[in-house]
């Protein structure tokens, strides 16, 4: 439900970049989202169809690149794929692991048109 | 869904953005600019500013998050009763509507500022900043921020607090941490609340709840309290007082503390960019 706020923050960043680059419009926005970011890609895309109206990104596409949850065990050093609610070590079963990826909420790139 | 969520872009959200970024030109005349910036960097920037306020005023700021009705306000009421003689406490209350929770706190003789978010399901750093300027922070040792009752949205927004507490009441089910991993991963302390009801809620197993928290690779304490019977308050208040001392020690070293809300993975990736 907070995806609209996140989307508006994203559009503010995109507007600023478009202005800096003297672009007339934005073609594509690429974001990277991890399952542990707290943002649901599908809801962000829905929010985008509402929030983009009237902005420099009014006709832009939004690409959401979903990231994988990966952890590193702080006990045995193993690196494993994990899921949002099961982040224990795949080698030794210890729960004291560190997140390597999976909580990203990044504006990765913007494609602009200068006319 | 999103269209009914009135979360607004706040004043501070508008201007931005860090210079630079790689450019790639394609044949059709479009330019791709690589950015690699956290989507909530404007909120994070404001949160860091709030944290400077808190540190300048030498207080500990604690954010409480839970589902609606898990006992945040009642925990604060009992905590105020127990600590009022020794610490100066103030509260920022976040709710969709009504001044009710702030009034409950004021009845305890403690300053409370109510933020009504309308339809927004979380507090953000700009709302907190506005509230701070309505308070006399010099008169405060502990500032509690009661977030909007919601197990999803508050977890994404840093407010400038030093610590997060996630509450789970025994009437909610012990599998909540598995269903809402983000908010439980953000916790510096997990409080199982309304423990007086465990006697009649044999479906809720505190052990299973703690197991579900550990499955999220969370090492922080998980402890039980009842704001009704006072059960577990020694442990909770000891923890809180320890945090006050730890924050004091950090401050004297010119350091502060950020709760774990900040995406660790994102930082790693931004570093590569
Ligand atoms: N039995 C019992 N009831 C409690 C306890 N703590 C809170 N309650 C009751 O649970 C209900 C909700 O408590 P609140 O403190 O208002 O919950 P909250 O998390 O502040 O709710 P929102 O601000 O609306 O999200 C009230 O009726 C409280 O009296 C407790 O320890 N034991
Ligand atoms: Mg309340
Ligand atoms: Zn291991």
In angstroms, the separation between the Cα of residue A78 and the nearest Cα of chain B is 14
Q: Which atom of ligand 1 is nearest to the CA of B193?
A: 31
Q: Which residues contact A33 (CB under 8 A, 6 or more apart)?
A: A39, A41, A44, A64, A65, A66, A67, A104, A105, A106
Check pLDDT > 60 for residue B20.
no
Choose the closest CB to B39 out of A10, A99, A109: A10
Q: Which ligand is nearest to the CA of B70?
A: 1
Q: Which two tokens stand for residue A35?
A: 């399952």
Q: Which residues on chain B are in Cβ contact (under 8 Å) with A3?
A: 2, 5
- Please check whether residue B191 is in contact with residue B223, taking contact to mean a CB–CB distance below 8 angstroms: yes
In whole angstroms, give the CA distance from residue A51 to residue A49.
6
Check pLDDT > 70 for residue B97.
yes
* Complex-level ipTM beyond the 0.95 threshold: no
Q: Helical H runs in chain B?
A: 41-56, 72-83, 100-106, 125-132, 176-179, 181-185, 206-214, 233-252, 264-272
pLDDT of residue B27: 66
**Of the candidates A33, A43, A19, which has an alpha carbon nearest to the alpha carbon of residue A110?**
A19
Q: Across all residues in chain B, what is the average pLDDT?
A: 88
pLDDT of residue B260: 73
Closest C-alpha to ligand 1, atom 27: B69
First vs last Cα of chain A: how many Å apart? 36
Percent residues over pLDDT 70 in chain B:
86
pLDDT of residue B29: 75
Q: Which residues of B134-166 are buried (b: 16+ CB within 10 A; e: fewer)?
A: ebebeebbbbbbbbbbbbbbbbbbbbbbbbbbb
Choose the closest CB to A12 out of B13, B35, B212: B13
Q: Which residues on chain A are in Cβ contact (under 8 Å) with B16?
A: 12-13, 16
pLDDT of residue B265: 44
B245 alpha carbon to ligand 3 midpoint, in Å?
34
**Of the candidates B217, B216, B221, which has an alpha carbon nearest to the alpha carbon of residue B206?**
B221
Check pLDDT > 50 for residue B7.
no
Name residues of chain A where pLDDT drops below 70: 1
Sheet holding B222-224, edge to edge: B111-116, B89-95, B142-146, B60-65, B163-169, B189-193, B222-224
First vs last Cα of chain B: how many Å apart? 34
B270 falls in which pLDDT band (50, 70, 90)?
A: very low
Sheet holding A97-101, edge to edge: A79-81, A70-73, A97-101
Check pLDDT > 60 for residue B14.
no
Interval B222-262: pLDDT, tens? 999 999 999 999 999 999 999 999 999 999 999 999 997 54
In whole angstroms, give the CA distance from residue B67 to residue B71.
9
Closest C-alpha to ligand 1, atom 9: B71
Percent residues over pLDDT 90 in chain B:
82
pLDDT of residue B23: 72
Mean per-residue pLDDT, B202-207: 97
Give CA B105 to chain center in angstroms: 18
pLDDT of residue B90: 98
Q: Angle B65-A33-A9 (CA atoms, 0-180°, nearest 5)? A: 70
| Least confident range of A54-63, B30-39, B99-108, B170-179 | B30-39
Q: What is the CATH number of the domain that holds B56?
A: 3.40.50.300
Q: Which two tokens stand for residue B99?
A: 């001044």
In whole angstroms, give the CA distance from residue A88 to residue B260.
18
Cα-based torsion angle of the residue sequence B186, B151, B197, B199 in order, rounded to the nearest 10 degrees = -70
Mutate to test the interface with B, among A3, A19, A37, A38 (most CBs of B within 10 A): A38
What pTM was estimated for this model as a whole? 0.90
If one counts every other C-beta atom within 10 angstroms of the C-beta of residue B15, the result is 10
pLDDT of residue B69: 97
In which domain, by residue range, is A22 found? 3-113
In whole angstroms, give the CA distance from residue B229 to residue B243.
24
Closest C-alpha to ligand 1, atom 4: B194
Name residues contacting ligand 1 (CB within 6 A).
B 66, 68-74, 95, 101, 149, 193-194, 196-197, 226-228
Choose the closest CB to B1 out of A43, A67, A88: A43
pLDDT of residue B160: 97
Q: What is the CATH number of the domain that holds A95?
A: 3.30.2320.80
Please give the tally of structural domains in chain A. 1
pLDDT of residue B8: 32
In which domain, by residue range, is B76 found? 2-270
Please give the tally of structural domains in chain B. 1
Interval B132-187: pLDDT, tens? 999 999 999 999 999 999 999 999 999 999 999 999 999 999 999 999 999 999 99
Residue of B nearest to A7 (CA): B39
């Amino acid at each position: 439900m907070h995806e609209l706020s996140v989307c508006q923050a994203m559009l503010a960043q995109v507007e600023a970049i478009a202005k800096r680059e003297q672009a007339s419009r934005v073609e594509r926005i690429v974001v990277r989202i991890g399952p542990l970011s707290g943002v649901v890609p599908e809801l962000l895309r829905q929010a985008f169809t509402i929030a983009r109206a009237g902005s420099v990104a009014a006709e832009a596409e939004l690409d959401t690149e979903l990231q994988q949850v990966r952890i590193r065990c702080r006990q045995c050093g193993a690196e494993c794929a994990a899921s949002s609610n099961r982040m224990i070590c795949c080698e030794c079963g210890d729960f004291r692991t560190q997140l390597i990826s999976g909580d990203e909420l990044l504006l990765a790139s913007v494609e602009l048109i200068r006319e | 869904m999103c269209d009914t969520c009135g979360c607004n872009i706040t004043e501070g959200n508008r201007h931005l953005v860090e210079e630079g970024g790689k450019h790639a030109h394609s044949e059709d005349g479009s330019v791709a600019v690589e950015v690699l910036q956290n989507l909530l960097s404007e909120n994070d920037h404001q949160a860091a500013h709030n944290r400077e306020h808190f540190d300048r005023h030498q207080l500990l700021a604690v954010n409480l998050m839970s589902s609606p009705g898990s006992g945040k306000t009642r925990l604060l009421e009992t905590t105020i009763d127990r600590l009022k003689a020794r610490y100066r406490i103030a509260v920022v209350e976040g709710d969709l509507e009504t001044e009710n929770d702030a009034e409950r706190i004021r009845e305890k003789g403690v300053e409370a500022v109510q933020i009504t978010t309308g339809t927004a399901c979380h507090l953000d750093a700009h709302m907190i900043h506005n509230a701070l300027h309505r308070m006399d922070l010099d008169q405060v040792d502990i500032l509690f921020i009661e977030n909007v009752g919601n197990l999803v949205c508050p977890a994404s927004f840093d407010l400038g607090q030093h610590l997060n507490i996630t509450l789970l009441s025994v009437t909610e089910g012990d599998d909540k941490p598995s269903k809402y991993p983000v908010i439980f991963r953000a916790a510096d302390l997990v409080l199982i609340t309304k423990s007086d009801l465990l006697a009649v809620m044999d479906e809720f197993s505190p052990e299973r709840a703690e197991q579900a928290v550990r499955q999220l690779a969370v090492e922080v304490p998980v402890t039980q309290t009842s704001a009704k019977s006072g059960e577990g308050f020694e442990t909770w208040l000891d923890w809180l007082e320890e945090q006050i001392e730890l924050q004091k020690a950090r401050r004297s070293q010119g350091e502060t503390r950020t709760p774990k809300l900040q995406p660790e993975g994102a930082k790693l990736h931004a570093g590569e960019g």
